[in-house]
Structures are given as structure tokens and as C-alpha cells.
Chain A
Amino acid sequence: MESRSAKIVALCGNPNCGKSSLFNDLTGLKQKISNIPGTTIEQKTGFFSVDGSAFELIDTPGTYSFHPKSKDEEVALELFNADHPKRPDVIAYVADAHNLKRNLFYFSQLADLQIPMVLVLNMIDVSEASGIEIDVARLQQELGIPVIKTNARQGIGVEELKQAIGGSDFVTHIQFGNKEDDDIAHRYQQLEALIGKVQTQKTKRQLFTERIDPIFTHPLWGYLIFLSFLLIIFQSVFWLAEYPMQAIEFGFDKLGTFLLEVMPANWFRSLIVNGIVAGLAGVVVFIPQIAILFFFMGLLEDTGYMARVSFIMDKILRGLGLSGKSIVPLISGVACAIPAIMATRNIENWKDRIITILVTPLMSCSARLPVYTLLISVAVPDTYLLGIFGLKGLVLLVMYVIGTVGSLVAALVFKWIIKQTRINYFIMELPIYHPPRWKNIGNQVIQKSRSFVTEAGKIILIVSVVLWFLASYGPNTQSDTVFSPIETTEIENSYAAKFGKTIEPVIKPLGFNWKIGIALITSFAAREVFVGTMSTIYSIEDENDLVNIREKMMTEKDPETGKPVYSLAVVMSLMIFYAFAMQCISTLAVVYKETKSLKWPLIQLAYMTGLAYVASFIVFQLMR
């Protein structure tokens, strides 16, 4: 191995051991997040120094065993391959002191690699509160490596840990496994003997967890509590996010206007303003909703509540070919399918995971909301049902229900189609509850928003530029050369319109004309581009002038029949199309990366778009 400027320290441990807090405490702000090459899996690295020597700390995903069961675990373990360029010089192993035996199982496997190690007993406060006492000096002596007590929440023991890592050159005395046959029971026997020497259980006090869980998993209260959390989350995602979203739109608007003024009027200005700035705005505008959603999801996961939701939802979701662990991706899908699909990684069952990935994009993501809002305002009358329920709001709610039901029904169908190749099981730890670790949650929000920007942003930007070209240029009808695009101010003469007119016969049975056809194509960048396209088509100067777009759409008449183009039938058909169709290239790209196969994104594209076509066809033919 080549010499390194900084020693590499791997931070390892089981899930829920408080590893992330400790990582923050050790590295402070000196950390960076990077993707593991070829995956969307992120790895945190940070730096710290002890007595002038530098250390690079790698945070590995929490795992229970050296034999990986899920994708995250697989990645955690690649680091220890003998030829891995970042094979650690030291392992800092974090164990939850409240549950030492199971936490030391993975420790025992890593210890046998004979890499110098430091053992961290974290959450010492919880373990002491429940009457467990650990003789650290004795444990240190038995193992032959430094053992440090920490309470990551309060930053206790962090300095000692740094010192221990700095001076660490010790491997464990004990060989836990028998080399020829790695017997799990044998490892546990060794651990049992070890713990018997160092741990005493004094009084046994009932934990908060034991008192609260019967309520959170109660047949009535359990579901009611979950439902109220969902309501609070969705309310916040939609209403709270509105203000920053407006500010972002305003900002990009001003930037666009500014550039229009200062740049010379040529194709380059058009590319910058209508292609790149507009594309960037389309990415950034979703960050508030995604950040708020992941703040709440992080909160529920960090406190331990999310595991209870998986627990009470498993039986229901299992009937649909999913698992209790599918609940996080499905809920996340309401903000954006991209981080939701990345969240499927901790579903161990291959079939459950694939089905979750396939159906998550049917959940009504936030990019569909502006489309629904515009279309509803165009065609749904402003009346009230029973005097209190506004029809417009009701239709919007129905669209969300359709998305959710659609994804569950699709899951059921895939359950029958996809063959079970590996054993299906659900084994999950219910971590004890603890107060939220705000720093961790904050970091997660930043990380998830960042992965949205990098995964979706690149693609949305590229597609926006391509679409800018297609909408601003058209074939030169005067010239004989095959390809000599000319700039056009009228969208009717553009390549986009050509495409729209080409697909018109196909979409006519759904009630769509070529103008809607253009919008369907441009929506491949992101669904909300529909609104911008409509404003371009109706040549409205201010893109945010919804009232104006609405009026133009409402008054447009079919030249043949003289009836309004955007009748209720067309609008409902169009909304159904947006509910089901796979119009998001970024999502397809993430599915490709996560499944490492073109098969699944293609199946997804085909089934969703097919479903959209058939459903829209039925709706239009019934309602016309």
C-alpha cells in the first residue's frame, strides 16, 4: 500500500448506534459528501487532527453483519477488501452500550480482520439509566484495545476518542471466529462470556419505549397517530414551502429580466435565459418542498418512530406485494420520486424493492401540482358540494387519491408478474426512542436536497436546453438542405410544433391537440414545464401570469367544431395522463443507476405511459 498523507479511519457500527452524531462531533464542519463511483450511494468523509497528525474519517453505512443483506451493507463492506484504495488503517467501532451483545457481533467480525481498532461505547446515558453498568477497564484489558465511553448527543468523550484513535496501534487479543467455519453461535458464545465478565445489570427499569409502544402500535391509536403525522407533513410541504418557492421564482424571474437587458439580443442570450436560467429555476424551485419533507421524514426516522410505522403497515403492504419498509419511499414520493427511489435501498428483499421502485413514481409528486392547479382552474367550475366542499379542492384531492391507489394497484399486479427469486422476509430492529438529534437531521436534509440537485438537476438542465432549441428553431422551408434550422419566434413553426403535429393522430383519441402534444413532450424535462410551455404556446410574456394563461386556454375554440378546446373531458383526460405517465427522465436515470439495468426503467416507462394512455382514453371517451 502506498504511503498516505492522512491515516484513514473507518467509523463502523450497527444501525441506530449513534454513529452519525459521533461523526459530526469528530469532524465538525470539515466534512464532504461524495458519491461512491457508479452508484447514487453517498459516502461522508471528514477530517480531524490529533497532536499534529491528520486523520481522514470515513462514515460507513450502519450494518449488522459482515455478510451483507442489503445494498447499503454491501457498500459498507467493500471498503475492507484487501485491495481497496481506501482500506482503513484504524477502525473506530461504535456500539450502543444499551445493547452490547448484539452490537458487538459485527465488532467481532471486524476484529478478526486484525486491523487496529478502538471500541466506542456510545449512548452510555441510556444504558446507565436502564441499570446497566459496564466495567470499561476490564473490557479494555480483555480485548486489548482502547475502549472509550461517549455520549455523542452531548459531545462527551469525543476528545478522549480522538486521542485513542491517534495512538491506536492495537488489534484485539481475542480471535472470535473459528477460521475454517464461521459459526455465528460460536461468536455469540464468546461474546456472552466476555460480557459476563464486564457487565452487570443492577435494577431493571422500564424504558419510555416500553410504555409508549403499545399506544403507537395500537389497532386504533396507532393508525390515527400515523395519519395525523401524515396530515401535518403534507400540510407543511404544501403551505410552508409556498413562500420560499415564490421567492425563488421571483429571484429567477429578476435574473432573467436582468440578463435580457444587459446581454445583446442573439441566440446566446436566448439560450442562457430561456434554456439555462429557466432550467435551473425548474430544479431549484423544488428544493423547499423536498427539504421540508425530508426534515419530517428525518425527524420520524431519527426518533425511532418510522420503524413502528413499518411495523404496523407491514401486513397491509405485504398483501400488495410491498413490505413495511416500502412506506418511507411511498411517502417521500409525494415530494419527489428521485430521493424516494434512493430510499428503497434499505429494503432487503429484492422483489419488494423492485416493486417499490416501479410504483413509487405513481405517487403524486410535487411537479404535478402546478399542472393540476392550472388545469383545474381552467375547467372545473367554482362550485361547492353540500355548501362546504369546494369542487376544485375536491378534484385536487381526487388526483392525489388516484395516484396513491394507482401505485398500490400497480404493486398488486407486479406481485403476480415478478417472480420471487429470493426468500422474502421482514426482520427489523425497533430502536428505542430518543429525542431528535437536530444536527443529524439537518445534515440529512442538506444531503438529500443535494442529491436531488445533482441527480435531477443535470438531466433537467440538459433536457431544458434541448427543448429550448426545439421550441426556438424550426426547419428552414426555403432551403433545400436537409438540416438548416432557422430561428423562429412563432412556436407553430418550430421543431417542437412539428413533433406535436406528428404525434397528434396518436393523442387525438385522448382529446389532445398538437399544442398539448408539445407540452407532453416538453414535460419530459419535468412535469411542471407544462405550465411554461402553455404560456409560450399562447405567447404570453410573463410566464407567471397564470390568470392570463388560464383565460387564453378557457377561450380557445376548436376551429372545426367551435366548441371550447379545454372542456372538462379534455382536462380530466389530461390530468389522468399526468397522474400516470412516466414523464420524468431524471427518475428513469435514477432507476437505472439503482437497479444497474436498463430493463427496469424501460418496463417502468412502458407500463406507466401505457396505463396513462388507456386511462385517459377511457376518461375522455366516457366524458365527451
Chain B
Amino acid sequence: MLLADIKKGEMVVIKNVKPCAIKDKLMEMGCVPGTPVYLSLKAPLGDPLAFNIDGYYLSMRKAEAAQIEVEYIDTDGE
């Protein structure tokens, strides 16, 4: 599953950032494997998106969010 596809209220963790030109930038901003993330805001036209990355808000376009692979947190419920 990709970060670009998650819905509001879903809690996920980052599994992997695909190799791409912005991989380092995304990872420097805290998008590293194992980080819990949820969708916080959607801009009026559906893009960009703002995520809560382990406690702070990071906005990015859908194209950027599509570089990040995530999975649901299945421990202690959602």
C-alpha cells in the first residue's frame, strides 16, 4: 500500500521509501521505515496532502506520497 492511498483515520507505519530522486529528502524529513503516520489534512483540490509524521505535520503532493510504501498497524488495534 502507498501513503498516497491511505484514508483519514487510518494509522499506518512506513515500510519503505522507493528509490527516487527525493528519497533522501523524504527520509531526512522523518519518513523512515518504522515511523507511524496518519493522514491529517487534504488540500481543497485533493492534493497536496498533509500527514502527521510521528508528531509533526508534513505536507507533500500525491506524487511524493506515492513513493512511500506503508502498512497498517495491526497491534493494539486502530
Interface on A for B, CB 8 Å cutoff? 64-65, 67, 69, 98-99, 101-102, 105, 184-185, 188-189, 192, 209-210, 213-214, 217-219, 222-223, 307, 311-312, 314-316, 318, 324, 422-423, 425-432
Contacts and interface: CB of A to CB of B under 8 A. Distances in A.
B64 A426 contact: yes
Interface string B9-44: 000000000001110111111101111000011111
A270 B32 CA distance: 68
Nearest to B42: A217
A348 B2 CA distance: 25
A429 B48 contact: no
A223 B44 contact: yes
Given A218-B44, A311-B43, A427 B32 contact: no
Contact of A311 (B27, B29, B59, B64): B59
A552 B18 CA distance: 70
B5 interface: no
Given A105-B30, A427-B64, A432 B57 contact: yes
A539 B61 CA distance: 59
Interface in B29-78: 29-30, 32-35, 40-48, 50, 53-61, 63-64
13 contacts: A99-B55, A99-B56, A101-B30, A102-B53, A102-B56, A217-B43, A311-B41, A311-B43, A315-B47, A426-B48, A427-B25, A430-B41, A430-B57
B59 to A, nearest CB: 5
A430 B55 CA distance: 12
A interface SS class: helix
Contact of A222 (B28, B44, B48, B54): B44
A430 B59 contact: yes
A369 B67 CA distance: 47
A427 B41 contact: no
Q: Would you list the 3 A-B pairs with minimal beta carbon distance, nearest first?
A: A219-B44, A430-B57, A423-B21
Nearest to A185: B32
B43 A315 contact: yes
A218 B45 CA distance: 10
Question: Interface centre among B41, B53, B63, by most A CB within 10 Å?
Answer: B41
A427 B54 CA distance: 16
Nearest to A105: B28
A616 to B, nearest CB: 36
Question: Interface centre among B21, B33, B57, B63, by most A CB within 10 Å?
Answer: B57
Contacts of B59: 307, 311, 426-430
A426 B47 CA distance: 11
Contacts of A426: 48, 59-61, 64
Nearest to A182: B24
Contacts of A189: 32
B28 A425 contact: no
Contacts of B57: 209, 429-432
Contact of B48 (A213, A223, A324): A324
Nearest to B26: A427
A217 B44 CA distance: 7
A101 B28 CA distance: 11
B48 A311 contact: yes
A324 B63 CA distance: 15
A67 B28 contact: yes
B48 to A, nearest CB: 5
Question: Interface centre among B40, B43, B58, by most A CB within 10 Å?
Answer: B43
Contact of A67 (B24, B55, B56, B60): B24
B27 A101 contact: no
A268 B22 CA distance: 61
Contacts of A222: 44
Contacts of A99: 55-56
A314 B61 contact: yes
Contacts of B56: 98-99, 102, 429, 432
B13 to A, nearest CB: 13
B48 A188 contact: no
Given A102-B53, A311-B50, A425 B44 contact: no
Nearest to B50: A430
A122 B62 CA distance: 32
Question: Interface centre among A99, A311, A318, by most B CB within 10 Å?
Answer: A311
Contact of A65 (B28, B33, B48): B28
B29 A427 contact: yes
A238 B55 CA distance: 41
A233 to B, nearest CB: 21
Given A101-B30, A185-B33, A318-B61, 14 more contacts: A65-B25, A98-B56, A102-B54, A102-B56, A184-B24, A184-B28, A185-B32, A209-B57, A217-B41, A217-B50, A312-B44, A426-B59, A427-B59, A430-B57
Nearest to B35: A188
Contacts of B28: 64-65, 67, 105, 184
B77 to A, nearest CB: 16
A210 B63 CA distance: 24
A213 B41 contact: yes
A316 B60 CA distance: 15
